[in-house]
A and B are shown apart, each in its own frame.
Chain A
Amino acid sequence: MCSFIFLLSEFSYAQVSRIAAKFREIDILSFKQISWTEKMLIQDNLTVEEDIANFTGQQIEFEKSFSDQKWGWGLAASLGFGKASGGGNAANIIFQKGNTRWSSLGLSAQIYSKISPRFYVGLRMPVRYKNIGWPVSDSSLSVSSGKTISAGVLFESTFRLNAEFDFTQAIGFYSASEGSTLWQIGLGYRL
């Protein structure tokens, strides 16, 4: 059994080495604008109402990307921060807050196809931990939006502006937003 595992790991290492040799590795540092909407839950004692929260902010992302002539994939870590505004629509509970700060930590995997030397399209699958505390003035009130940990799928396109800079845009869905759409646009710098 141990021998089999050893052989398997040796085989895997060889495979990975061959693949790594075939694919070119690039580090990309990106700065992105991000925007999405979440369902908000407002609870006042036994009354619960739904509302809407809009999020906007920035995301700094570091990605290790591997690609050959036609395909590529990447793994990225990101740090996000920004502002959110929510409430104001519920029928019975009065709650509305703007300019509430949020922050996030995320990991994502991407696979893409090189349509041309300067245009790539692909899918990015992010997982994100989000932190936001909606301020309430009344202790009987509790407010939450979306999910703390969420995953999603984004359709992403990348234009190579020149040798150093990429322009990326992505649109897709996050489980935190429960049906609404998330966008990202930004610039990537090839380190």
Chain B
Amino acid sequence: MSDRLMAPVARRIVGVAALLALGALVAVGLFVAPPDAVQGDAQRLMYLHVPAAWLAYLAFGVTALGSALYLWPRTRSAVWDRVAGASAEIGVVFTGLTLLLGSLWGRPVWGVWWAWDARLVTTAVLFFLYLGYLALRRIPAALDVRAKRCAIAALIAFVDVPIVHFSVTWWRTLHQQATVFNPELDAKIQGTMALALWLGVLAFTLLYVYLLDHRYRLEVLDEDREERELEAAIADRVQGGTPSREAVGATS
């Protein structure tokens, strides 16, 4: 049974690289890149907001992929369930961060804390889809039962996100007002601003991988503990005791 996603050496390297990239991001994003002509220094939040959004969707994609691999009989393995769950937890943090940063950015630039921009709304729905998934992960059930239900829920949510995105985008373009507010990746961005953005994406991706390994190992430790409790319960039962059903979470 694999109890980690990468060798300790690799994880340390990733961690250090993430730290360096984050440092470079702060340096370039805060000091080197010029302030935006229209939005001023507030625009620098984009260097965090856009990578965070990228990570939110990446993490969600990994959760969906892990769920699919878990459900597929030939690749079924607890590894994929753990990856899905770990990625979802990190993803919900990044999604929340995206929404928060978007809000902080919007206030000075648009004058409002929130705008019904298509992508913000889709991200908000994504956030709630994640929360539902995390709620489902906490149910008291046997590991494989829980894994199956969570995997199906994750895949349904994954299928739903493009539908949400499409319908919301369509809805908001019919209400032509969002064109003034364009906080998204502008294709015409150049120079140090583009550098800062890519540094952000790099740093956050490294951070994600680092956190994923940590969270994965935590999940493994959790399962080990449950397995040991179960073996103790079986041994206890064989010897004639009847361990309290509530104590070991019997469900019926």
Binding between chains A and B: no
Q: What is the interface of chain A, defined by CB distance below 8 A to chain B?
A: none
Q: What is the interface of chain B, defined by CB distance below 8 A to chain A?
A: none
